[in-house]
Structure 1
Amino acid sequence: MHMFDPDALECLAAIVEEGGFERAAQRLHITQSAVSQRLQALEAQAGTVLLVRRPLKATPAGQLLLKHTRQLRLLRADLDRDMRAFAPQSGGRLREQERVAVAVNADSIATWVLPALQEPVAQGLPLEIIADDQDFTQEWLREGQVLGCVTTLDQALRGCRMVPLGAMRYVAVAAPAFAQQRLGGALTPHNFHQVPFVAFNRKDDMQREFVSSRLGLPRLALNQLFVPSSEGQVRAVLAGWGASVVPELLVRGLLAAGELVDIAPGHAERVALYWHCWNLESEVLDGLSQALTQAARAALD
């Protein structure tokens, strides 16, 4: 069995995570030439090409080594945590490049996830949160780029475990004046096509699915604007750009204050969320899982 050089593995990860050799060199505080030499040595040891240069991405063999690298990071994070029992001042020595990554949908980041992760971060965990659509975060886990993800998919990957988190409720909202002037106060089959809906990005099917479910129209096309931020969607709606379907958690206070109105009263879409992570024995991973599941149970339906 090959024993791969940890520095060479971190070099491979830096190239992929930073998107190039120059930025990898900056992150690792070495020359670009040294980055190339470490990669060449690692490919020679592995006996295969690990990176495709254009576009820059890991080969299947490279993805396996990237997953191995991130598992090593988790082991080092566990060791760092355990060493604090013997030497409290030894904590927080993990290098910045040894980040522990998770993939989370933007709506969860904007509502309940950050408070859940406060304690692990306060203890020095070098966390990286990767944002993606809730239907696509599992791909990051499948490719070994993260150790866990929050997703709508309920099928566990091989070598991973899955925990139900609860359901996020979505409501359709608009600014009061906009809702009255453009919709007569509420969404109907006759007026939905007259207003723009502010979606997160082109992967976001929530706007169309909500309107279709609410109005009983199986096939419809919406006029959409795209704002790739959950909080940004809300600000756009407050500014009168259009209507939007957003997490009720995110706009609860604005609805109570009358700054936004529900344009589909009595109707909400519930989206079930799940936490998937590597099925490894790790106190750090267990701590992350426990923090997320407890926070989700308090915040979600």
Structure 2
Amino acid sequence: MNALDPAGLDCLAALAEAGSFERAAQLLSITQSAVSQRLRSLEASAGHLLVVRARPLRLTEPGKVLLRYARQMQALRADAARELGTTLARDERLPIAVNADSLATWVLPALDPLVRAGQRDGYGLELIVDDQDFTHDWMRQGEVLGCVSTVSQALRGCSCQALGHMRYVAVASPAFIERAMPDGLTPLNFPQLPFIVFNRKDDMQAQWVAKAFGVRSPRLKERFVPSSEAGARAAAMGWGVAVLPELLARADIAQGTLVPLKADITIDVALYWHQWKLSMDEPRPAPPAAGNRAVTPAHTGLMEQIGQAVIAGARAALGSDQAAKSAAR
């Protein structure tokens, strides 16, 4: 394989980001013909077709390999520009994939100090949301540089760190309990009751019912609410039973707007942080103890800083040691 042109790699990344030649040209501030020319040159150097020219366009398997390389090069370029004190032509995109429940609870507080400090550095942190069982696919396809996932096995060239366990509890509003299940949630009435579900990838409710009642593959009446916060609000409004992160439900339970159902039945989901290893990133020091402020060297790469912030924030919020011991009992 011949040397890969950085402009061609940027073009491939723009095509993956934009989904069309027209929008990719707008992102790069060049013409569509220039996009096509750079892509053809990159394909000639790689010896593979990289993009299926359809609507919407999609990357081939070799294209996904080079997209991963392009994303890493962009992150390294952002690091170099920051250390040299120069300004990039446009913000480099640093995408990470997270699950919606983590985004609704601990991810934003974990990243907030880093984002505020990095506003002057000119990099574009992007949060991509998917189910925690599927965020790892974004890593494999080269779409993101890091992800929060339930997968514990690192890809080749990646690091993997345990974050802790996110605990899920079943809840409903007092009015819904009084109206729909005055005798509580039972093996007889759960099939007739509505359960609030995030989307069709979400099986947390089925997992909880299976554990509570010993039912394999339970069939539930589902009401889809594709937002963690809105799902909690829908439960408080009496839309049905919800299985929520304890972190998200805690305030409503304390206020009495949500009531735990079978409080002894919980689901603990182990989460892990994956990120690609970049050559400019320094070895990661041990994350600080919960409540301690992380000290990040100025020369540490941006993705390494993001990883450190995610790990420290998750472990502080999830209480990994306590949750792990509870799960083991």
* TM-score where L is the length of structure 2: 0.84
Q: RMSD over aligned Cα, in angstroms?
A: 1.8
What residue number does 2:58 align with?
A: 57
Give how far 1:47 is off.
2.7
Q: Does 1:157 align with 2:141?
A: no
Counterpart residue type for residue 134 of structure 2? F
Which digits, 9 at most, give the CA deviation of each residue in 1:16-63, with x for residues without a partner? 121111221222222323222222222233232110123521112211
Give how far 1:116 is off.
1.1
Counterpart residue type for residue 276 of structure 1? H
Q: Secondary structure at the match of 1:224?
A: strand
- Distance in 1 (CA, whole Å) between partners of 2:172 and 2:183 is 9
Counterpart residue type for residue 101 of structure 1? P
Q: Secondary structure at the match of 2:30?
A: coil
Matches within 5 A, 1:1-301: 2-54=2-54, 56-83=57-84, 87=85, 90=86, 93=88, 95-96=90-91, 98-122=92-116, 123-124=118-119, 125-184=123-182, 186-281=184-279, 282=281, 283-300=301-318, 301=323
Give how far 1:94 is off.
6.4
Give how far 1:236 is off.
2.0
Q: Secondary structure at the match of 2:314?
A: helix
- Distance in 2 (CA, whole Å) between partners of 1:121 and 1:80 is 17
Give how far 1:185 is off.
5.9
Counterpart residue type for residue 53 of structure 1? R
Give how far 1:254 is off.
0.9
Counterpart residue type for residue 34 of structure 2? A
Q: Secondary structure at the match of 2:312?
A: helix
Indicate if the aligned counterparts of 1:185 and 1:263 stay in contact, CA closer than 8 A. no
Which digits, 9 at most, give the CA deviation of each residue in 1:147-176, with x for residues without a partner? 111111111111211111000010111121
Which digits, 9 at most, give the CA deviation of each residue in 1:107-155, with x for residues without a partner? 1011101111113322133111111110111111112211111111111
Q: Secondary structure at the match of 1:236?
A: helix
Moved more, 189-198 or 121-130: 121-130
Which digits, 9 at most, give the CA deviation of each residue in 1:163-197, with x for residues without a partner? 11000010111121012211226321111112111
Indicate if the aligned counterparts of 1:100 and 1:147 stay in contact, CA closer than 8 A. yes
Moved more, 274-283 or 194-203: 274-283
Distance 1:3 1:121, change over 3 A: farther
Q: Secondary structure at the match of 2:144?
A: coil
- Distance in 2 (CA, whole Å) between partners of 1:105 and 1:298 is 18
Which digits, 9 at most, give the CA deviation of each residue in 1:225-252, with x for residues without a partner? 2222111211222232211111111121
Aligned length: 294
- Distance in 1 (CA, whole Å) between partners of 2:26 and 2:192 is 50
Moved more, 229-238 or 110-119: 229-238
Give how far 1:5 is off.
2.4
Identity over the aligned pairs, expressed in percent?
A: 53
Unaligned runs of 5+ in 2: 282-300, 324-329
Counterpart residue type for residue 201 of structure 2? K
Unaligned runs of 5+ in 1: none
Counterpart residue type for residue 111 of structure 2? L
- Distance in 1 (CA, whole Å) between partners of 2:38 and 2:230 is 42
* TM-score where L is the length of structure 1: 0.92
Q: Secondary structure at the match of 1:99?
A: strand
Q: Secondary structure at the match of 1:172?
A: strand
